[in-house]
Amino acid sequence: MSLLRSQSGRRDFLVTSALAGALGTLLPAAAQAGTPPAGTATAAAPAAQAETPFAGAATVGAAALGQHPARDPSIRPFRFQASDEALDDLKRRIAATKWPSRELVPDASQGVQLATMQKLARYWEGDYDWRKFERRLNTLPQFVTEIDGLDIHFIHVRSRHPNALPIIITHGWPGSIVEMLKIVDPLTNPTAHGGSAADAFDVVIPSMPGYGFSEQPAELGWEPVRIARAWTMLMKRLGYSRYVTQGGDWGDPISEQMALLAPSEVLAVHTNMPAAVPPEILKAAQSDSPPPEGLGADERRAYDQLRFFFTKGLSYALQMAGRPQTMYALDDSPIGLAAWLLDHDARSYELIARAFDGEKEGLSRDDVLDNVTLYWLTNTGVSSSRLYWENKLPFFAPFGLKAPVAVSAFPDELYQAPRSWAEKAFPNLIHYNRLEKGGHFAAWEQPELFTKELRAAFRSVR
């Protein structure tokens, strides 16, 4: 989820000014390179990072993501195996958690609830199996390649069907490539999942800089536009001259910026969290003024969702946009990291909390902990947060995109984009669907619906 950081010279955030921005430019020191992943990554290593991993983790080997004397622009195969020492250390740290007292309200209005975190901790320490996820991940073709000074990790699965449409899919925060794994086989192997050969995609899923197995930036400047340029270079390097893009959360501005930067290459964009809110709606949702008159039912619901987000849902973004380096606890305490990652938005938190109560719909306990454990083992709690500090693009405001755009509006997203707003923001709207279920992590929560949406969205541009 993105914030605009302006040149106002202040560090405080004014909820009434997301369009103008209000996070100031008192620049901190350059972001320090982070600790390498606690395990073995069998790929050539990127540029120098901090040499000492956290206590209890195995030192990364010479052929892993550690120090490297020279940059390598080739595409290199990648696999990751966490060390036994790192996994044992994780369990020790969970067991040693110093718990706070219980929240003083009967709901989640004070934050992630103690009972939810204690259920998560018991399962994480006792029954969760990282190796199961690791084996699943390593069955997929993974690679790293240096782009603009950083080693970028990505999954690349080619369809066996001819004339498959190349697609690059970008995750967000607090997600990762884990969000997208359930849709890989349905997209690349559609005939095994209710589709036809004409629905096939070649799928590219990169890890954003500072996230997962991609290198952590050691200099300022890695914001969504720069990432979009890097993704454009990645697609060129993979031999794709024409392709489509997809994204929600951070993936939306990155995907839309790719279309603006490379209009002759990007055939179309699909987004499940579009930058499509009219300026007057944004201004009203961030202020104490009443909503604009004349809103239809869908527009009023979207306005109410935005109003709730701006008044009650911004805490995580404010901290990361203003003071990301302060959050040392994310890289020191697994329970601190998990609680932070769970608290993205109210509807997603409800879904996750239900998973630890035994609910089977949507995300499972393993889904949640696969993602959290990936953050932990790669030591990317703080490095991923810096993207909020770097960002200069506005919340939800249209970018003036003229390329073909498809919108899937899920009801439990931060806001469910009305068709009227999508048509105004995207004059070349090729697909719009208002779905009945699904939220912020749509591909992760509702992979079958999401797959159907991508097939329908891009059918006209094949």
Q: Give catalytic residues, as residue numbers.
A: 249, 388, 440
Three-state SS at 353: helix
Phi then psi for 82, rounded to 5 degrees?
Answer: -65, 145
Helix, strand or coil, per DSSP, at residue 342: helix
User: Alpha-carbon distance 166 to 172, whole Å?
Assistant: 20
| DSSP assignment of 236-283 | HHTT-SSEEEEESTTHHHHHHHHHHH-TTTEEEEEESS-S---HHHHH
- Separation of alpha carbons 248 and 345, rounded Å: 14
The alpha carbons of the chain give a radius of gyration, in whole angstroms, of 21
- Residue from 224, 270, 222, 225 nearest 243 by CA: 270
Residue whose pair of structure tokens reads 């749509």 in the numeric block: 442
Residue recorded with tokens 């969205």: 457
Cα separation values, 134 from 129, 172, 212, Å: 9, 21, 13
Tell me the two tokens of residue 218.
Answer: 């050691």
* Cβ within 8 Å of residue 98, ≥6 positions away: none
Burial code of 8-40, b = ≥16 C-beta within 10 A, e = fewer? Answer: eeeeebeebbbbebbbbeeeeeebebbbbbbbb
Whole-Å CA distances, 440 to 82, 346, 362, 436: 29, 10, 12, 13
Question: Which positions ≥6 away from 409 have C-beta within 8 Å?
Answer: 272, 416, 417, 418, 419, 422, 432, 433, 434, 435
Half-sphere exposure of 280 (CA within 13 A, CB side): 8
Q: How far apart are the first and last CA of the chain?
A: 30
